[in-house]
Amino acid sequence: MAKDGDSASASANKIDVLSPYYLGSHDVPGQSVSHVKLCSDNDEEWSRSMKMSLKSRRKFGFCDGSIEKPTDKLLLEQWEVVHCTLVQWIMHSIDESVKSSISYCEDARLLWDDLAERFSTVDGSKIHALKSQLHDYHQTHGMSATSYFGQLKALWDALANHEPPFACKCGRCLCGIDKDALARQDSE
């Protein structure tokens, strides 16, 4: 039989289900939280999938640093539990061929940043490859218009992600955006 002090202490230690510190019974470390496993050539798809999955669980703040390590002892303990679970989720979402080349990191933010730096490097060759794919892409015999457009849109979206459109930065159009546009045109 529980004492009144024990039940008061237990209810004070409960974490609100809307808190980023909350883990439900289904949130276990070995769980797959994304249908996409990180391979050497799908970093954008993996990153989007993981980010959406973690945001839907209110946990992405641990990866981007917006949820900092607390000083309160009770919250610190729960932060560490969630943090370790996140590291396991991320590691579980990486293909074995890639995982073998990643040093094991116990910090979710450092791990996330390391993966982003390592796999999300955008350079002229990646942009050129996307533009070449767009140029060469065509609807094959038997391919539905919906399927064709969906795959074409995925290429457009990937290119827009790497090469966002120019936008005026000064608010008065005195920022030289026309020079930036000409430089991009020259590089193409």
Residue 15's identity, in one-letter code, is: I
Q: Which residue has the higher pLDDT, 164 or 28?
A: 28
Highest mean pLDDT among 112-121, 137-146, 161-170, 173-182: 137-146
Look up residue 54 and give its two tokens: 């973690």
Lookup result for tokens 């730096």: 117
CB atoms within 10 A of CB 50: 22
Mean pLDDT computed over 152-161: 78
H or E, element range at 171 = none
Calculate the CA dihedral of residues 6, 7, 12, 17 and round it to 10 degrees: 130
Count CB atoms within 10 A of the CB of residue 100: 8
Cα separation values, 129 from 21, 123, 184, Å: 42, 10, 16
Using the predicted structure, report yes or no on whether residue 54 has a pLDDT greater than 90: yes
Angle made by CA atoms 41, 46, 48, in degrees to the nearest 5: 130
Average pLDDT, the chain: 80
pTM: 0.64
Write the pLDDT tens digit of every residue in 1-19.
445 444 444 445 678 888 8
Return the exposure string of 127-159: e unless at least 16 CB atoms fall within 10 Å of the residue's CB, then b: beebeeeeeeeeeeeeeeeeeeeeeeeeeeebb
Q: Maximum CA pair distance of the chain?
A: 78
pLDDT of residue 2: 46
Q: In this model, does residue 179 exceed pLDDT 90?
A: no
- Quote the pLDDT of residue 10: 43
Residues in the chain: 188
Domain residue limits, the chain: 9-119, 124-187
Distance CA 98, CA 100 (A): 5
